[in-house]
């Protein structure tokens, strides 16, 4: 199962809305929200998540959404 880890401190960048959309579009993905992921420098500059321990970032929530979708599609293709 693909797992996305999200820092709730990053919600100010719109990450929460991106994750809500991803959960709707990819219900098979496990999303875990943590109070802190320990990547404060990255967290302070823009939206990001970890997908299976790989950081995925974007300059905007829209870019993060697109990067997450690309990463998820690659992982789904690999698992087939």
For residue 12, the model assigns a pLDDT of: 96
The span from the CA of 39 to the CA of 19, in Å, is 18
Instruction: Work out the average pLDDT over 57-67.
Output: 98
Whole-prediction pTM value?
0.92
Tens of pLDDT, residue by residue over 15-40, are 999 999 999 999 999 999 999 999 99
How far apart are the C-alpha atoms of 63 and 48, rounded to whole Å? Answer: 10
Split at pLDDT 50, 70, 90, the class of 75 is confident
Residue written as tokens 């959404």?
65
């Amino acid at each position: 199962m693909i797992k996305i880890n999200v820092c709730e401190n990053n919600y100010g960048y719109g990450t929460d809305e991106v994750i809500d959309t991803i959960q709707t579009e990819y219900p098979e993905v496990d999303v875990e929200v943590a109070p802190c992921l320990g990547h404060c420098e990255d967290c302070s500059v823009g939206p990001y998540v970890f997908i299976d321990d790989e950081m995925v970032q974007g300059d905007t929530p829209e870019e993060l959404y697109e990067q997450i979708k690309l990463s998820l599609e690659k992982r789904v293709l690999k698992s087939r």
